[in-house]
Amino acid sequence: MRIKIINYSLVLALISVIAAGCSKVLDEQPRAGIDPSYFRTPEGIQGGIAGIYSSFRGHWGTQIFTQLFNAGSDEFQKGAAADVQHWYTFNNAQIRTEANNYAGFWNSMFININTANGVLEYGAAANMPEATKTQVLAQAKFLRAFCYFYLVTTFGDVPLHIDFNTEESTADSRTPEGEVYAQIIKDLTEAAQDLPSLPAPGTGKPATKATALFLLSKTYLWRGWSSAAQSGDFNSAYTIAKDLIDNKAQYGLDLMPYFPSVFEEGNEYSPEVLMVIDRTKDLKFGQNSNPGTFASNPQENKSNFFFRPNYPAINANYPAGGGANLTVRDVNNGRPFQRIRPNTRYVIDVAFANRETDSRYDGTFQTVWLSNSSPMSAVGSPGATTPRGQLINGVDTSIWMADRVVTSQERANFKGVIFEPEHLPGATVRYTASYYPNLRKWDDSTRADMNDYSDRPFILFRFAEVYLIAAEAAIQGGATPQDAAAMINVLRTRAALKPNQTPAEYNAAVAAQQVSAADMTIDFLLDERSRELFGEYTRWWDLARTRRLVQRVKAYNPEGADGVQEHHRLRPIPQEQIDLVTEGPAFPQNPGYE
């Protein structure tokens, strides 16, 4: 096997992690050139697991990864400062030129797989308590399956290696996806047997039995849609998800009662969360810059910035020039990276069309900004003066990203600036690639400096998706449409709760939110996944799995409609990988990217 990085460097930890899971803060020590005998030591196998978990920080929440796996869907369009713009527009010529966009992800996943292989191959001989060792090996199986899950669902056929590799090779080949799915299912099934039902106190959210079952259910769902589908895949996906729901107390899982609270700061380890990618402020091991240095570090979690509009540039006379800025950059609002913005044609008209009785629009987007004249403006102090009056800092709304066309009277009575969805007839001051509602799920107000990265744990898997997996599997024949509707209605009932409702209003909202078996189609399911999971780094995979990528981009996203093609359901194999295979048959590229 030859992967880009031949020196299998590991980030290893000298901690006692897996009697219950990985520590939330990893005491990592870099090592290189690992000898297989190292995996026979407690430090070696525990450090290998910690290193794999740590590697995920280099992807979820980082700049390029965020765009690679959110761009080019029905949910998002490019912001004014977008990178990898070819993945928003599906410009195939540019995609071929930039074929290594996915190299970091590919290499990292295969390095992790090789680390897990070393733990599994040699870890059984480690001198440590058997119960602890069993947990470590189960973590290794889960993590190997996790990495292969993301590889096969991103690239299709990929090399399948389950033995520890210590020597360089210039030969490699792709394994049919059916064999890869089978190995993932085997690893997750075995991991679920040995992982604990609950994480130990103080360990955060490492993989548990429930995490393995969640990913096992989702793997059956993916295989059911694939060319490697087997009879019973959708039934297995439904049954596992339904068992997780029915036994949620055993795993300490449940839905938060109010949707907007799911992503409130401090709720990252709530009962709704199955797995997070932990972060740390530690500058040595956290892959972070010094606070206040404004460094461009590709490893940092800046998910709190990528979706932000250029709110500090909006002046008092907008859309005309002149006047003071209405809201300046501060810690709560942060840096306006403008990398990626919601596709409001889909967001306003389809996914979140029902905003009256569904709290998920308000829980997903920031649409108002308060006046401030400086990062430390005192509440009640005078702010900017607009043609409609003077704003009061911390009291008056200075910017409103409305979800509709406002009346002339509303605009005259509003001292700040109102924007309207750019696609709506009659809109005057329109959303642009710089000005639009902000995705609020990743906000972080705890940073020392307004420009600092976020050290919030990144929520990766949550319990609400178990209901969506079960519903999708049921629609596909794993159960009945009635079963699917029952799953969806649990989430829609939760979404009916809004602030300041009377009991009568809540009951009316619940009734309005209910759906029936007749509503259960894949397109409805995809809309429901948007309502629940918008911006949670699942959308391109969702459209690829359900074979709806081309259809929905053409229907809702004019930015990518002309370029999107069926082959975009898989991403290109990094050219680095293809070039490194010089022995034996050539390593093939995915069709459409040759």
DSSP state of 226: S
What confidence tier does 99 reach under pLDDT thresholds 50, 70, 90?
confident
What tens digit of pLDDT does each residue of 359-398 get?
999 999 999 999 999 988 999 999 999 999 999 999 999 9
Distance CA(270)–CA(205), nearest Å, equals: 9
DSSP code per residue over 56-73: GGGTTTSHHHHHHTTSSS
Do the beta carbons of residue 539 and residue 66 sit within 8 Å? no
Enumerate the β-bridge partners of residue 439.
365
pLDDT value at 26 more than 70: no
Residues 6 or more apart whose Cβ sits within 8 Å of residue 145: 183, 184, 187, 188, 191, 212, 215, 219
pLDDT attached to residue 378: 95
3-state secondary structure of 399: strand
pLDDT value at 415 more than 50: yes
What confidence tier does 283 reach under pLDDT thresholds 50, 70, 90?
low
Distance CA(246)–CA(490), nearest Å, equals: 13
pLDDT value at 169 more than 90: no
Average pLDDT estimate for 221-235: 98
Average pLDDT estimate for 116-142: 95
What are the distances in angstroms from CA 15 to CA 111, 133, 283?
A: 21, 14, 18
What tens digit of pLDDT does each residue of 452-500 get?
888 899 999 999 999 999 999 999 999 999 999 999 999 999 999 999 9
pLDDT value at 510 more than 50: yes
Widest distance between CA atoms in the chain: 76
pLDDT attached to residue 284: 57
- How large a percentage of the chain has pLDDT more than 70? 91
The values of phi and psi at residue 339, to 5°, are -80, -35
The values of phi and psi at residue 59, to 5°, are -125, -75
Do the beta carbons of residue 309 and residue 434 sit within 8 Å? yes
Residues 6 or more apart whose Cβ sits within 8 Å of residue 1: 159, 161, 165, 169, 171, 172
Element (H, E) at 184: helix 177-194
Q: What is the mean pLDDT of the chain?
A: 91
Geometric angle at alpha carbon 73, from 311 and 461, rounded to 5°: 85
What confidence tier does 314 reach under pLDDT thresholds 50, 70, 90?
very high
Average pLDDT estimate for 232-258: 98
What tens digit of pLDDT does each residue of 44-64 get?
999 999 999 999 999 999 999
pLDDT attached to residue 24: 41
Distance CA(186)–CA(178), nearest Å, equals: 12
Enumerate the β-bridge partners of residue 461.
275
What ranges make up the beta strands (E) of 55-127? Answer: 76-78
Strands 382-386 and 389-392: antiparallel
